[in-house]
Chains A and B, each alone.
Chain A
Amino acid sequence: MSAISASEKVDGFTRKSMRKAQKQRKSQGSSQYRTQSAPVELSPLPQLKDAPSTEQQELFTQKLQQCCMLFDFLDSVTDLKSKEIKRATLNELVDYVSTNRGVLVETAYPEITDMICTNIFRTLPPSENPDFDPEEDEPTLEASWPHIQLVYEFLLRFLENPDFQPSIAKRYIDQKFVLQLLELFDSEDPRERDFLKTILHRIYGKFLGLRAFIRKQINNIFLRFIYETEHFNGVAELLEILGSIINGFALPLKAEHKQFLMKVLIPLHTAKALSLFHAQLAYCVVQFLEKDPTLTEPVIRGLLKFWPKTCSQKEVMFLGEIEEILDVIEPTQFKKIQEPLFKQISKCVANPHFQVAERALYFWNNEYILSLIEENIDKILPIMFGSLYRISKEHWNPTIVALVYNVLKTLMEMNCTLFDELTSSYKADRQREKKKEQERDELWKQLEELRLSNPTLVHGQNRKILKNNNPRYGPSDSSWDNEGKTCSQLG
């Protein structure tokens, strides 16, 4: 007990970073092997390369069956010999399918997929660390990786074998197979997700009949992630695959794809963990816009709808994405969206968090954006002027003030007359705004009086409360405060 410092006695709860530093790198197994009966000891089979060619196929099958045996890797002392035999056999199998031609005979397909399914398809164990923060915490690694890695390797070589025939394989690599494969993307182990990404990409490429199904299931995973669990480890990997898929979409885009963009990709921006997959997400969005520029307006409106309200880090990401979009925007599309967009940008440059303000002000370093602004200066300058003028005087951060001066100068050069007009009317405008605000306050007060002085209103209100007789739904204006759950875009 003497080891506990006084400060720790006061706090009791040590700092997160300290607690984490003490933790060791952990690994975990799946619960799958335990459902099997205890493993039987494996005995080594002869090498494939040493077997006469007539017996090779039979030996190949035997080895595949041998590799269906699963071992407990959390227990590092048991079955050492068998584990080693399986590892060596898997290595040999990988080698066999990648270097030899003519080994993928039709009868081998079910044996191969059976071995793969037995090894990789498993219920992922509960996370060791329920509040796992992928940015800060070490991921829990898969204990049986020494075997699983080789099985993934084998699957990949199998798919890439020049003799591989999707028409035969589709009997085994079917919807159910894909569904189980997709569930594995939730693995905490980044090595596993990386393999899965490549494998799913190959499957998408080779099995035309599964494409729509794969897209739909990814859809479902994302929707569940957005609206139900907010937890899925493989979002970035799936988005990366989608990025390359979107590239290949035919024009005009199908309604299904547009719906995916608007109802899945855009709401994905609301996720708490956006930083983990934002790069991939923004890439997908830009891919869509490059395919079909008419989607620019709904996309930008969507982003504005979900614009972060309290999370500056996310706001910086949104600004980054907007710049990526503006880089490819067509001038006609820009005109459609400039007003709401620059209202948001004008709020961003006035953000007290200097990184947000800075990121927004960097737009003025972008030649193409500058040319768009110049073209529409009469619309944009009035929107931006108030904010810029105010922060040039008020912002606490000198870098921001310097940047703002540059921006004001650029804008002034674009339309000097308008700039002068706005400068001279600035005060009057502010006063008008203030007056409007006062009027609003006044009205709220009047309303309150009206409600109180009007006996029917008060009476009606009472009756309503009595009738409901349920405090949660009592006076409607207070119930908002009781609402614990925040909407996602608050994050």
Chain B
Amino acid sequence: TNLQQRRREGPAAALLWQKPRSAAQQRHSVTAILSKMAGADGDDSLYPIAVLIDELRNEDVQLRLNSIKKLSTIALALGVERTRTELLPFLTDTIYDEDEVLLALAEQLGNFTMLVGGPEYVHCLLPPLESLATVEETVVRDKAVESLRKISQEHSPVDLEVHFEPLVKRLASGDWFTSRTSACGLFSVCYPRVSSTVKAEIRQHFRTLCSDDTPMVRRAAASKLGEFAKVLELDYVKSDIISLFTALASDEQDSVRLLAVEACVSIATLLPQEDLETLVMPTLRQAAEDKSWRVRYMVADKFSELQKAVGPEITKNDLVPAFQNLLKDCEAEVRAAAANKVKEFCENLPEDSREQIIMTHILPCVKELVSDTNQHVKSALASVIMGLSTILGKDNTIEHLLPLFLAQLKDECPEVRLNIISNLDCVNEVIGIRQLSQSLLPAIVELAEDAKWRVRLAIIEYMPLLAGQLGVEFFDEKLNTLCMAWLIDHVYAIREAATCNLMKLVEKFGAEWAQNTIVPKVLGMANDPNYLHRMTTLFCINALSEACGQDITTKQMLPVVLKMSNDQVANVRFNVAKSLQKIGPVLDSNALQTEVKPVLEKLATDTDMDVKYFAQEAISVLALA
């Protein structure tokens, strides 16, 4: 086959081989297939299939792509045998196409087992996938490896050794780095199901790739180290994997070293506790103090996983000081990553010494981070710091954490303040929100007017919670104006959220409160010169009518809605129709017949077709016809 030919001729020949074949050659092969597939036996039903195959050679990429995506249909139509003997060899030839086409092909082939006749024949899919696994474009190659991993499971143990494992070996000793990187992802899927001799070979291949000349290959090997360790026998983990791990973790390239940190988690999980100190910890300690911030960042980012993997004793002795250093790292990126893990790290500390460790070792670092120079660090901390209160309990929270929360609430960066406010519920559970209310308020007011509408939106979502905690009096005094101001925000999403917020407030504080404080203001907006504000009145009525009940709806809201049916803006008028449909069920039948019906009938003859439509819809839904 072409593949073997390429292998024999080495890389220079591969270059030549890669160029598309001449038009004449192409035409020849297509004609051959066409006549074989369609013409020869005169089977009309196969004609379109033949054309599809012709289109796999079309000059237009889009057409080739369309055709390749229908590949399963083509294969089904051909039947398993012709798929194996004709379609697959043909596809193996097409491999030198645009990457888009190859990606689609790589993905399709992973689902082809039944189409070639089931697991017994699944190895037929290996040649095209092997070629795809050597392509330069990473996306294509990764997809090919994914498909190979998938179909490896469908191989019988014998086929795995006869067909699949040789492929892995060929890839592992390929000339160009692409095939070797692909091989790294395939060892772990065949290792558990082959004989011990083959296993030894696989281990040897993996070892070789871990010290490959090309950093790309070492990166691929390092990223698969954990996965490979998991399928190895424990003795080999100790004898083979550890030395590979140590070597990769001290690679000259930081991009390789940082991947070893990831593997560290898996490896530490596999080893018995007593071996961790000698086999894993020296490397981990070194990684936490690596000269490259990328490696330290990775340690910080994986800290919770590492903590779980090494267990409580090592955590106490080693990880606590390491974590302190990461929180004080000179690079903001590293500090932010570590700050993100503060809560999880504290949570996972052994219970007997948790409080003591937090109070003496972690909290001092956290205090410094509150006034960090970098806003990402502060913001990362703000997103988790509130979680500490549940761990430390009421007294410690009030004494030690509260000042920090308040400091962050006054932070100059809105994201920091927002992160604190978004997590109020954790503190609320521990100390109640009253403690915070006085200090909270200025921050809330400021965020409520923040220039970023998403920030305003987030604050609105916390209003019902705050209202419930602060009580009606405090709310009326301090927050009510804000809630009403949002109704006339420039951004629709804010007005919508504000409407929904009002409904939740009414559910909390009751109809009487609504009647006195909210409804008059909402109805007042019906006379606003801006039609968007007039519509907001309608939206509020839609949201509030149910919570306010029949009395308020009929006596106060309905007249306003009906009056608005004469609005000069069609959008307002059809929203009147929609509102009437919405509040109809809350009204009594008398009001419906005498007041609503005539207005809807009038709207149903409106000059605007949308108004007509919604009026008619309301009439039919409310059964007023």
The smallest C-beta distance from A117 to any residue of chain B, in angstroms, reads 13
- The answer to whether A488 and B99 touch across the interface, beta carbons within 8 angstroms, is yes
Known: A31-B293, A35-B291. A224 touches B216 (CB 8 A): yes
Q: Which of B69, B110, B138 contacts A228 (CB 8 A)?
A: B138
Q: How far is the CA of A482 from the CA of B55 in the complex (A)?
A: 23
With a cutoff of 8 Å between Cβ atoms, the chain A residues found around residue B55 in the complex are 440
- The answer to whether B98 and A473 touch across the interface, beta carbons within 8 angstroms, is no
**Segment 84-142 of B: residues with Cβ below 8 Å from A:** 98-100, 103-104, 107-108, 110-111, 114-115, 136-140
The smallest C-beta distance from B399 to any residue of chain A, in angstroms, reads 33
Which stretch, A322-330, A415-423, A458-466, touches the partner chain B?
A458-466
Given contacts A9-B453, A13-B452, A451-B77, 11 further A-B contacts (CB under 8 A): A9-B489, A123-B292, A220-B214, A224-B216, A255-B12, A259-B11, A259-B12, A440-B55, A446-B48, A487-B137, A487-B140
The smallest C-beta distance from B564 to any residue of chain A, in angstroms, reads 26
Q: How far is the CA of A400 from the CA of B254 in the complex (A)?
A: 52
Known: A301-B20, A457-B77, A487-B100. A224 touches B331 (CB 8 A): no
Q: How far is the CA of A410 from the CA of B453 in the complex (A)?
A: 60
- The answer to whether B19 and A443 touch across the interface, beta carbons within 8 angstroms, is no
The smallest C-beta distance from A349 to any residue of chain B, in angstroms, reads 17
With a cutoff of 8 Å between Cβ atoms, the chain A residues found around residue B104 in the complex are 480
The smallest C-beta distance from B427 to any residue of chain A, in angstroms, reads 27
Shortest 6 CB-CB distances between A and B: which pairs? A12-B452, A487-B99, A34-B330, A255-B12, A447-B48, A477-B69
Known: A126-B293, A228-B216. A258 touches B19 (CB 8 A): no
Q: How far is the CA of A489 from the CA of B98 in the complex (A)?
A: 9
Q: How far is the CA of A267 from the CA of B138 in the complex (A)?
A: 12
Q: How far is the CA of A189 from the CA of B48 in the complex (A)?
A: 60
- The answer to whether A255 and B76 touch across the interface, beta carbons within 8 angstroms, is no
Q: Say if the beta carbon of B451 comes within 8 Å of chain A.
A: yes
For this complex, 7 residue pairs linking A to B, each with C-beta atoms less than 8 Å apart, are A1-B449, A10-B490, A31-B330, A35-B291, A460-B114, A480-B107, A490-B100
> Closest residue of chain A to B46, judged by CB?
A450
Give the A-binding residues of B (Cβ under 8 A).
11-12, 15-16, 19-20, 45, 48-49, 51-52, 55, 59, 63, 65-66, 69-73, 76-77, 98-100, 103-104, 107-108, 110-111, 114-115, 136-140, 176-177, 213-216, 219, 252, 254-255, 291-294, 330-333, 446, 449, 451-455, 489-491
Q: How far is the CA of A10 from the CA of B456 in the complex (A)?
A: 11
- The answer to whether B331 and A126 touch across the interface, beta carbons within 8 angstroms, is yes
Q: How far is the CA of A477 from the CA of B45 in the complex (A)?
A: 21
Q: How far is the CA of A258 from the CA of B13 in the complex (A)?
A: 11
> Closest residue of chain B to A7, judged by CB?
B490
Q: Say if the beta carbon of A223 comes within 8 Å of chain B.
A: yes
- The answer to whether A305 and B451 touch across the interface, beta carbons within 8 angstroms, is no
Q: Could you give, for residues 304-325 of chain A, a 1 whenever the CB lies within 8 Å of some chain B CB and a 0 otherwise?
A: 0100000000000000000000
- The answer to whether A489 and B20 touch across the interface, beta carbons within 8 angstroms, is no
Give the B-binding residues of A (Cβ under 8 A).
1, 4, 6, 8-10, 12-13, 31-32, 34-35, 123, 125-126, 176, 179, 216, 220, 223-224, 227-228, 255, 258-259, 262-263, 267, 297-298, 301, 305, 343, 440, 443-444, 446-447, 450-451, 454, 456-457, 460-461, 463-464, 467-468, 473, 476-477, 479-480, 483, 485, 487-490
- The answer to whether B77 and A485 touch across the interface, beta carbons within 8 angstroms, is no
Known: A301-B19, A467-B114. A488 touches B293 (CB 8 A): no
The smallest C-beta distance from B244 to any residue of chain A, in angstroms, reads 21
Known: A220-B214, A457-B73. A126 touches B333 (CB 8 A): yes
With a cutoff of 8 Å between Cβ atoms, the chain B residues found around residue A301 in the complex are 19-20
With a cutoff of 8 Å between Cβ atoms, the chain B residues found around residue A123 in the complex are 254, 291-294
With a cutoff of 8 Å between Cβ atoms, the chain A residues found around residue B490 in the complex are 6, 9-10
- The answer to whether B69 and A258 touch across the interface, beta carbons within 8 angstroms, is no
> Closest residue of chain A to B14, judged by CB?
A259
User: How many A-B contacts at CB < 8 Å in the complex?
Assistant: 144
Known: A443-B51, A480-B104. A227 touches B136 (CB 8 A): yes
If over half of B's interface residues share one DSSP class (helix, strand or loop), that class is named, otherwise mixed; here it is helix
- The answer to whether A461 and B452 touch across the interface, beta carbons within 8 angstroms, is no
The smallest C-beta distance from A174 to any residue of chain B, in angstroms, reads 12
The smallest C-beta distance from B326 to any residue of chain A, in angstroms, reads 13
Q: How far is the CA of A4 from the CA of B76 in the complex (A)?
A: 63
With a cutoff of 8 Å between Cβ atoms, the chain B residues found around residue A450 in the complex are 45, 48, 77
- The answer to whether B49 and A447 touch across the interface, beta carbons within 8 angstroms, is yes
- The answer to whether B76 and A125 touch across the interface, beta carbons within 8 angstroms, is no
- The answer to whether A176 and B252 touch across the interface, beta carbons within 8 angstroms, is yes
Q: How far is the CA of A301 from the CA of B108 in the complex (A)?
A: 27
Q: How far is the CA of A179 from the CA of B252 in the complex (A)?
A: 9
Known: A223-B216, A297-B19, A301-B20. A485 touches B136 (CB 8 A): no
Q: How far is the CA of A206 from the CA of B138 in the complex (A)?
A: 37
Q: Which of A13, A457, A489 contacts B76 (CB 8 A)?
A: A457
Q: Which of A298, A456, A479 contacts B19 (CB 8 A)?
A: A298
- The answer to whether B215 and A220 touch across the interface, beta carbons within 8 angstroms, is yes
With a cutoff of 8 Å between Cβ atoms, the chain A residues found around residue B139 in the complex are 485, 487
The smallest C-beta distance from B330 to any residue of chain A, in angstroms, reads 4
Known: A450-B48, A457-B77, A464-B114. A4 touches B176 (CB 8 A): no
Q: How far is the CA of A466 from the CA of B72 in the complex (A)?
A: 15
- The answer to whether A9 and B291 touch across the interface, beta carbons within 8 angstroms, is no
Q: How far is the CA of A454 from the CA of B331 in the complex (A)?
A: 64
Known: A31-B331, A123-B293, A488-B99. A476 touches B252 (CB 8 A): no
Q: How far is the CA of A444 from the CA of B48 in the complex (A)?
A: 8
With a cutoff of 8 Å between Cβ atoms, the chain A residues found around residue B52 in the complex are 443, 447
Q: How far is the CA of A487 from the CA of B65 in the complex (A)?
A: 13
With a cutoff of 8 Å between Cβ atoms, the chain B residues found around residue A176 in the complex are 252
Q: How far is the CA of A227 from the CA of B48 in the complex (A)?
A: 38
Q: How far is the CA of A446 from the CA of B11 in the complex (A)?
A: 44
Q: How far is the CA of A228 from the CA of B114 in the complex (A)?
A: 35
With a cutoff of 8 Å between Cβ atoms, the chain B residues found around residue A461 in the complex are 72, 76
The smallest C-beta distance from A441 to any residue of chain B, in angstroms, reads 11
- The answer to whether A305 and B291 touch across the interface, beta carbons within 8 angstroms, is no
The smallest C-beta distance from B195 to any residue of chain A, in angstroms, reads 29
Which among A176, A467, A476 has the greatest number of chain B C-beta atoms within 10 A? A476
> Closest residue of chain A to B71, judged by CB?
A476
- The answer to whether A258 and B12 touch across the interface, beta carbons within 8 angstroms, is yes
The smallest C-beta distance from A218 to any residue of chain B, in angstroms, reads 12
The smallest C-beta distance from B607 to any residue of chain A, in angstroms, reads 32
- The answer to whether A9 and B451 touch across the interface, beta carbons within 8 angstroms, is yes
Q: How far is the CA of A175 from the CA of B94 in the complex (A)?
A: 42
Q: Which of B65, B71, B330, B451 contacts A12 (CB 8 A)?
A: B451
- The answer to whether A456 and B138 touch across the interface, beta carbons within 8 angstroms, is no
Q: How far is the CA of A477 from the CA of B140 in the complex (A)?
A: 17
- The answer to whether A223 and B177 touch across the interface, beta carbons within 8 angstroms, is yes
With a cutoff of 8 Å between Cβ atoms, the chain B residues found around residue A6 in the complex are 490
- The answer to whether A12 and B111 touch across the interface, beta carbons within 8 angstroms, is no
> Closest residue of chain A to B55, judged by CB?
A440
With a cutoff of 8 Å between Cβ atoms, the chain A residues found around residue B63 in the complex are 440
> Closest residue of chain B to A485, judged by CB?
B139
Q: How far is the CA of A126 from the CA of B330 in the complex (A)?
A: 11
- The answer to whether A1 and B48 touch across the interface, beta carbons within 8 angstroms, is no
Q: How far is the CA of A454 from the CA of B216 in the complex (A)?
A: 48
Q: Which of A9, A227, A298 contacts B15 (CB 8 A)?
A: A298
Q: How far is the CA of A267 from the CA of B107 in the complex (A)?
A: 23
> Closest residue of chain A to B108, judged by CB?
A476
Q: How far is the CA of A477 from the CA of B59 in the complex (A)?
A: 21
With a cutoff of 8 Å between Cβ atoms, the chain B residues found around residue A468 in the complex are 111
Q: How far is the CA of A12 from the CA of B450 in the complex (A)?
A: 8
With a cutoff of 8 Å between Cβ atoms, the chain B residues found around residue A255 in the complex are 11-12
Q: How far is the CA of A179 from the CA of B72 in the complex (A)?
A: 49
- The answer to whether A473 and B110 touch across the interface, beta carbons within 8 angstroms, is yes
With a cutoff of 8 Å between Cβ atoms, the chain A residues found around residue B216 in the complex are 220, 223-224, 227-228
Known: A9-B490, A255-B12, A464-B111. A488 touches B137 (CB 8 A): yes
Known: A31-B331, A447-B49. A476 touches B451 (CB 8 A): no
- The answer to whether B99 and A489 touch across the interface, beta carbons within 8 angstroms, is yes
The smallest C-beta distance from B52 to any residue of chain A, in angstroms, reads 7
Q: How far is the CA of A243 from the CA of B255 in the complex (A)?
A: 28
